[in-house]
Amino acid sequence: MSNQTDSTAEVLLEKRGGAGVITLNRPKALNALNLSMIKQIYPQLKTWEQDPETFLIIIKGTGGKAFCAGGDIRAITEAGKVGDKLAQEFFQGEYRLNNAIGTYKKPYVALIDGITMGGGVGLSVHGHFRVATEKTVFAMPETAIGLFPDVGGGYFLPRLSGKVGYYLALTGCRLKGRDVLKAGIATHFVESEKLPALEKDLIALKSPSKENIADLLNSYHKKCTVDQEKKFVLDEHMEKINSLFSANSMEEIVKKLKQDGSPFAIKQLETINKMSPTSLKLTLRQLREGASMSLQEVLRMEYRLSQACMKGQDFYEGVRAVLIDKDQSPKWKPPALEEVSDEFVDNCFKPLGNDDLKL
């Protein structure tokens, strides 16, 4: 299994030198993660973790456009509509994989070249090292499709500086290139064209420690001058982000944005008004609670939320409007924040008994 190099396979798992190399290989689908890929990656990661001859993991995507643009949302939608158990299995498998990455005993290096969204963030952000390039585009755009920033978003987003994570989660704002590093999502920044050389050097390391790997990544990072002088895109708005997105409720955030009235606040208001009101409320609470939880507790909470979304209406409507019909005008139910009751939100967070996620 560990030398699977069939170029038609959806994921390639190879042992090269001292490295286990995972290549997401669905370039036409922007390397979107499906259940069969999860089922191949997870056991291989576990095997490599026990193997004394494997010293690090490298994960990357093919095709030059994306690392991984997210989970295979269409398949989940089809399954959820007819009550197929894929809607449970996918999230269970994905979150277990996120947890395996977050607790991995060996250095894990994600080369996040190109689009890295949703499920792709889950495959990278919990690992030790995330190498962004000038082609990286990061986003957690789930509130636009009636979902919430899952895959451990409730863990890493509230831990970013200030309220940046809340802002990214609620608005789906995209960060590009060096900004992904400046936001604290990537750990290193290297030119896209240097990645093959970096990978070769990582594979050539002889029984490396985490420090050796960090040193090698740092040396590439230091040599990279692309956009070095550019200020962080959110710098000028940080004060506003920290005050506007620190409110305890979505209604309060909206009120603060309206009161602020600056061009930046008005733009955020317009964005938030397009999102699923249910998703916004679930997301704000997910992040507020996740801020003091372990990764495992967050993933269990997110699994409960995922199943609540599968039973609801907004997820299917959001996918229809954004991904299928592409009319970009979802009809959310309920259509306003005020109509999403606290009781409804509470219910989405309730334990599922025997059906809770087991990690």
CATH of the domain at 19: 3.90.226.10
Q: Whose CA is closest to 341, among 301, 285, 291?
A: 285
Whether 104 maps to a domain, the answer reads yes
> Which domain, by its residues, includes 235?
11-355
**CA dihedral in degrees (280, 142, 230, 108; nearest 10)?**
120
Whether 24 maps to a domain, the answer reads yes
Read off the pTM. Answer: 0.97
Whether 6 maps to a domain, the answer reads no
Whether 44 maps to a domain, the answer reads yes
Q: Whose CA is closest to 145, among 91, 65, 71, 256?
A: 71
Task: Give pLDDT < 70 ranges for the chain.
Answer: 1-6
Instruction: Say if CB 321 and CB 327 are below 8 A apart.
Output: yes
Catalytic residues: 71, 119, 142, 150
Whether 293 maps to a domain, the answer reads yes
Helix ranges restricted to H, the chain: 35-50, 73-81, 86-102, 119-122, 153-156, 164-171, 178-182, 195-204, 210-223, 238-244, 250-260, 263-274, 277-290, 295-311, 314-319, 342-348
Whether 127 maps to a domain, the answer reads yes
Whether 311 maps to a domain, the answer reads yes
Both structure tokens of 209: 């420690």
Give residue 8's pLDDT: 85
Instruction: Report which DSSP code applies to 71.
Output: B
pLDDT digits (tens, 9 = 90+) for 42-65: 999 999 999 999 999 999 999 999
Count of domains in the chain?
1
pLDDT digits (tens, 9 = 90+) for 169-187: 999 999 999 999 999 999 9
Name 58's bridge partners: 21, 109
Whether 37 maps to a domain, the answer reads yes
Q: What span, in angstroms and rounded, lies between the C-alpha atoms of 122 and 32?
A: 12
